[in-house]
Amino acid sequence: MALTKTSKALMLLGQCVPSVKQNASKIRVKRLVLDEKLLMYFGEFEYYYAYDPGKICKTGDMVLIQQLPEKLTRLITHKVLEVVYPCGDITDPITGKEVVVGKYRDEIEEASKLFGESEGRFKYDKAPKRGWQEDKKDFTHRETYIKYHVFENDDQPYAV
Amino acid sequence: MHGVGLMKVLFGNARLIPSAVAVCDVYANSGGTCKELCNNPYIYQVIRNYAFKSDLKIKWVRPPKIPSIKPEKSGDLVPLPPVDKKQYPLEFQNSEELKTADELVKRVFTLEFFPRRHSFRIVKCNMMNSVRRHALDMGSSESKIAQMTADIRNMQQIMEQFPKDKRRKVKLKELIERRKKWLKYLRIWDYRRFEWLLEELGLVYKPPPSKFHWITRKDSLRKLTDKHCEEVKQQRLHAYRASLEAQQVDFLRTKVQKLQWIRKEEEECGVKPTVTEKDIEQALKQLKELELSKENRLKDKAD
């Protein structure tokens, strides 16, 4: 009953979760549902597949999706409009400065300048874009599973 | 329902047992009668819902258990680097007295004659220096993770020597878990820094699976069977596609011939032709393209 309400909404804000689809992203949308007996709201998740041929959103990004006028496939019902908050790369909407948790990035840099910057520290201007460690050292773009079998010609990178 | 009627004959008006109903339903649908069912003593062996054994020859190999403290499980790709034993420990490195001391004293003050922890202190310091923001940085997430990584790798080395050291094992496990938690935080706080740190320290980060379950023979065999079925399905689909594609050229050739024949007949009979020249040309074009692509594929295979 309540489920139909969100799917009728024009645009939805959700988080991208790992999926193996080639031209689409899996988006998790949270909605608060009222429990009439407890008179309390509880979060519930709905999953949508959004058409995303350029793969603009990555796992963990908060994205805006819009319903397609027609279903593209049995699963793909939405399309990705834009990435609102890229995961781990947040810009404060009020000041327009980049932030890390509770601090501005330039303030962090200034603080380390006061103490004397070290040579091997992380530099934002020289760091490559997100995704260069995918499938090498960072395996968060795919869902992992518990290893259940030893395959001969497969080292199973996504097995834990 | 036929099946339920059968049940009444069998058990009178006793309670209906769901599995027995299912058996009777299947039997009734196959056209059997009650008498046959009663005379056939093997009926319950035909349908085996439990204790079912698959005919497929899938061999399951249980993955070996890797303890959580081992580097391959904790995500450490590189071991601790070796230390140059000819240098002084950290606290004596800037000592003025050692510079003017006797050669023998100097030698006694090298790491060779100090306990292991003094060498490790240097390695840990180097590791932190490679990632820290400034000389006094002890609290940033990257220097914390570097510190933990050094400790973890040190303890892993010690655990190799003394595998029965249970206290150290527990400490090590907890430290690995704490580092994983910090990596998880760093990933959502600052993704690029997280990736850079993985590269610097030689770590692998894998997210935990969404649901925990024990590995059992039955469950694993089910997964393997599903996988096998999927493979068989794909194989057959590919074979079917190939067989259809093999017929395409012949089909188009006959199509062109028949279209030409129809057009000719209609023209001879004086009727307005239903087949245009365009249709024939299009079919011919398709045929040519198909033959070209086929030749190309053969050439690629030969190369």
Give pLDDT tens digits for A13-24: 999 999 999 999
Paired residues of A104 in beta bridges: A99
- Angle, CA of A25, A31 and A33, to the nearest 5°: 150
Amino acid B46: pLDDT: 62
Q: How far apart are CA B73 and CA A44, in angstroms?
A: 33
pLDDT tens digits, one per residue of A88-136: 999 999 999 999 999 999 999 999 999 999 999 999 999 999 999 999 9
Contact A150, B61 (CB under 8 A): yes
Q: What's the structural domain count of chain B?
A: 3
Please tell me whether residues A76 and A10 are part of one structural domain: yes
**Which domain, by its residues, includes A16?**
3-85
Contact B203, B187 (CB under 8 A): no
Please tell me whether residues A100 and A39 are part of one structural domain: no
Q: Which residues of B touch A101 (CB under 8 A)?
A: 189
Please tell me whether residues A97 and A60 are part of one structural domain: no
Closest-CA distance, B282 to chain A, in angstroms, reads 30
Closest-CA distance, B175 to chain A, in angstroms, reads 18
The answer to the question of residue A136 being in a domain is no
Helix then strand then coil, % of chain A, to nearest 5: 10, 35, 50
Closest-CA distance, A116 to chain B, in angstroms, reads 6
**Which domain, by its residues, includes B229?**
217-302
Please tell me whether residues A43 and A94 are part of one structural domain: no
Please tell me whether residues A120 and A55 are part of one structural domain: no
Paired residues of A85 in beta bridges: A62
pLDDT at A1 over 70: no
Please tell me whether residues B35 and B82 are part of one structural domain: no
Amino acid B17: pLDDT: 44
Interface test with B, best of A61, A121, A147 (most B CBs within 10 A): A121
Residue A130 touches chain B, beta carbons under 8 Å: yes
Q: Which ipTM did the prediction report?
A: 0.91
Amino acid B272: pLDDT: 87
Give the end of a domain, one of A51, A85, A119. A85
The pTM score is 0.80
Under an 8 Å CB criterion, which residues of B touch A? 60-64, 77, 129-137, 142, 187-200, 203-210, 212-213, 215, 219-220, 223-224
Give the end of a domain, one of A50, A85, A120. A85
When pLDDT is averaged across residues A31-52 and rounded to a whole number, the result is 96
Please tell me whether residues B101 and B185 are part of one structural domain: yes
Where is B288: in which H helix or E strand?
A: helix B277-302
CA nearest to A83, candidates A55, A49, A105: A55
Please tell me whether residues B140 and B115 are part of one structural domain: yes
Please tell me whether residues A37 and A80 are part of one structural domain: yes
Closest-CA distance, B110 to chain A, in angstroms, reads 27
Please tell me whether residues A39 and A99 are part of one structural domain: no
DSSP label at residue B116: H
Kindly report the CATH number assigned to the domain that includes residue A17.
2.40.50.140
Torsion-angle region of B74 (φ positive above 0: left; ψ -120 to 50: alpha; else: beta):
alpha
Please tell me whether residues B19 and B94 are part of one structural domain: no
Could you tell me the end-to-end alpha-carbon distance of chain A, in angstroms, rounded to an integer? 38
Q: What's the structural domain count of chain A?
A: 2
Q: Which residues of A touch B218 (CB under 8 A)?
A: none
**Nearest CB to A101 within list B136, B189, B213:** B189
Q: Is B261 helix (H, G, I), strand (E, B) or coil?
A: helix
Contact B221, B60 (CB under 8 A): yes
Please tell me whether residues A106 and A46 are part of one structural domain: no
Q: Which residues of A touch B74 (CB under 8 A)?
A: none
Please tell me whether residues A11 and A79 are part of one structural domain: yes
The answer to the question of residue A152 being in a domain is no
- Crossing angle of helices B116-131 and B191-201, in 10° steps, is 140
Please tell me whether residues A33 and A75 are part of one structural domain: yes
Please tell me whether residues B297 and B268 are part of one structural domain: yes
Provide the residue-wise pLDDT of chain B in tens; the chain has 303 residues: 344 444 443 443 434 444 444 444 444 454 445 455 545 555 555 666 777 777 888 899 999 999 999 999 999 999 999 999 999 999 999 999 999 999 999 999 999 999 999 999 999 999 999 999 999 999 999 999 999 999 999 999 999 999 999 999 999 999 999 999 999 999 999 999 999 999 999 999 999 999 999 999 999 999 999 999 999 999 999 999 999 999 999 999 999 999 999 999 999 998 888 888 899 999 999 999 999 998 998 999 888
- Strands, E, within chain A: which ranges? 11-17, 24-35, 40-51, 62-67, 76-85, 90-91, 98-100, 103-104
The answer to the question of residue B120 being in a domain is yes
Q: How far apart are CA A33 and CA A38, in angstroms?
A: 11
